[in-house]
Structure 1
Amino acid sequence: MIIKKYVGKTESEATEEARRELGQNIVVMNVRPTKKTGFFSLFQSQKIEVTVALEEESERPVKTYSQPKENRPQIVTPSKDSSQRDTIVSATQNATKVRESKDYRDDNSAIEEKLDNLSNLLEKNFSKNEKDSSSDNTPSDTGVKAPEKDEISEETMSFIKLLYNTLIENEVDEIYVNQLTDEVEKISKPGLPFDFALANVYQKMVLKFGKSEPIVMDKPGPRAEIFIGPTGVGKTTTIAKLASELSVTQKKKVALLTVDTYRIAAAEQLRTYASILEIPFRVIYSVEEMKQAAEDFKDYDFIMVDTAGHSLHNEELKQGVESFIRTLEDIMECENFLVLSATTKYRDLIEIADAYSEMVAYRLIFTKMDETGAKGNLYNVRMHTGAPVAYITNGQNVPDDIAVFDAQRIVKNLLGGKS
């Protein structure tokens, strides 16, 4: 893990300098104005300091898209027996080197500020956990293998137990929980405060999520934004929210298409939204009609496409959706978004994600965040697929109940802090 600071006149200037040096995969950990010192500071303009982190190659999750398009990166599925320990050892060595520098101490303080009262909350639980386990110091009920007594302190083991239980309660998969607790064991040394271990886990999880990748108009259109996913997850409402943001707030030219001819109510709902937003809407029944729509809206910035949800075992519907996507890909740049409900069972989410990865590469949108208290599935699906999370939605209100994914907020929640 690499942690560095950059200073510029604005946040964007400092962040751009960081990207030029470290690459596009940096994660912004903290932004604050620099402190002025000395008499001449009175005549100097305020500058912004940005702290960024970069996860090194060996630490990044392996993506699992299959059948990639020619111009997409080749991605492979991770094997169950991959050398996780080597990755953790490498990360530990880097974290230890950084910890010894003054910069890291400053960054650690910044992270503590971002966690708000999370440290105090964990400390209270930690004290309670010690009392509960006073009769039995072996944390066998946590699923974490306890090292020899002289290898790790009881305080650290109690923190590991608390961390394990907190993540499991938030429905993070046990495989990923054990990776994180192993990391704590590796970096633990006698006398090391648990605040450092907490900050390390926080950083690690934020970096695993990576930066969000929302819709950005980085070059002239048209560009197709295609929304795929099972029925009942809120694809149509999500499209309406994003169409409103792009057309009303960003003043972009947007057209709405639907190839979902199986649910009349969904098409009429999208037609209503299009009428309110005063943007064109069209129902597409065939590949030829899709080609005609692409030609008719070639001067637009975005063509947003709603697809039919289908059973994973319905090959006919699957092939129909895929044929529309391939048609658009041959005409213009396309981005695919897999829309998933945060309330869906983990096993089903993985099955859905794997099925759609056979069709296209995609980014993730999680809906119904307001209907669940356990958000571990976001971390699970991100780790399993390697696909970036673009948006989350937390209600039915159009256009308000949608937000660009914020890894720091979700990780804080997963670690027991307030949302």
Structure 2
Amino acid sequence: MISSIFHLGRLLLAWMAIFLVLCIFASEAGLRHVDAPIGGYAALAGFVLGAWVLSVAFSHIRRVRLVAGTVSAAALSNRQRRRIEIPFEAGEAFDMIDAAIRELPGAQIVDSARDSLQVRARVDGIDPYGGRSSYAWALEHLSTRRNQILATVTPNGDAAGSVTLICEPEGPAWIDLFLVDHGTNLENAEAVVRAVTRRIAERRRQEAAAVRESATEKELTVARLNLLHAQVEPHFLYNTLASAQLLTRSDPARADAMLGNLIQYLRHSLPRTEDAPSTLGEELERSRAYLDILAIRMGPRLALQIEVQEELKRHAFPPMMLQTLVENAIKHGLEPKPGGGTVWILARALDSALTVTVADDGRGFTAQGGGTGIGLRNVRERLRLAYGAAAGFSIVANFPTGVAATITVPLALGVASAPASAAAAAPALASGDRHG
């Protein structure tokens, strides 16, 4: 109430002061001795001017109350200032405020400078009462005609931007003593704030949806990994147990060694928790147990050579990938070869990458290799999902016979293991063929 009275009084006082100055000027110009009727006309003109000014000021107050829901000195002001905190980096904050200003009715962008993080715009005056109103002529001559907007973005760290928004009439500040904007700058400021708030909420919804989608994909990935870890090839398990049973009658020592290797292999093949890391050493133990079992079954037809330095065993390595390559070498390289052969497992640290190679001197790339190629395709897909371009997989012919398959991953200690998705895309234990 006090703000309304003060606003009315200030506007009326400003116009009455102008009217008084005009009367004094007329008097000083030689109209000092006017007769009573002319003086009465001057008083009547002053009364009409006062009534006109009060009606315009009252209309301004009532409209501001409708727009803001309350009346205060800040709301009644022709010049509005807002500070908006946007929880995104300054460039994104600038894009949001720029788009919000461009969507204002009647907005005309004068300058939008992304480097200086400033937006200047003019906004055409909108008649809030309708141009056909019979009272519009009495209001428009005491109203501001065009407004302007200045938005400045201030970086607030790397992940936030602060926007200073100024909505005001075009013209110097002294015109506020005589003219009103009927709440148009208040509307512009509130509209920009609402638009920015809506865009922030929309971004949050998109981020929440992306998080939910990522969580779902992660759950599916972990489920596949757990299935992969739990999946021990039935034929391998049955054949190993049958061989151990046979050896218990003829060679108990070898049967005991085979069962020990089987236990070691199964221990490393059990599902691990989704965040549990794997290292090259653990994967090597799993593959070594598998090869020791086959060495008992195949006898002198299988030889094994491992060249892996101890310090490399501590580094992270995707689960089950080494096992896939080893199984591929046995099934499609050495088992079909009448005389068998040798499997080599080699690891090297080159620059910031760990390279692991599984090679054999088996049959090599032959049409009789069999298989579907699923295992090797899964290796490629899992590496792509986990490391992108930072990892690699290659398979080439070995000399003089056989195949050499190499996996390259970024060099990292096992405590900072490969991403969970590295474990994941699809069951790779079902080994593929040489043409995967």
Same fold (TM over 0.5): no
Higher relative contact order (CA 8 A, sep 6+): 1
Give the TM-score, by structure 1 length.
Answer: 0.20
Whichever structure has more helix as a proportion of its residues is 2
Give the TM-score, by structure 2 length.
Answer: 0.19
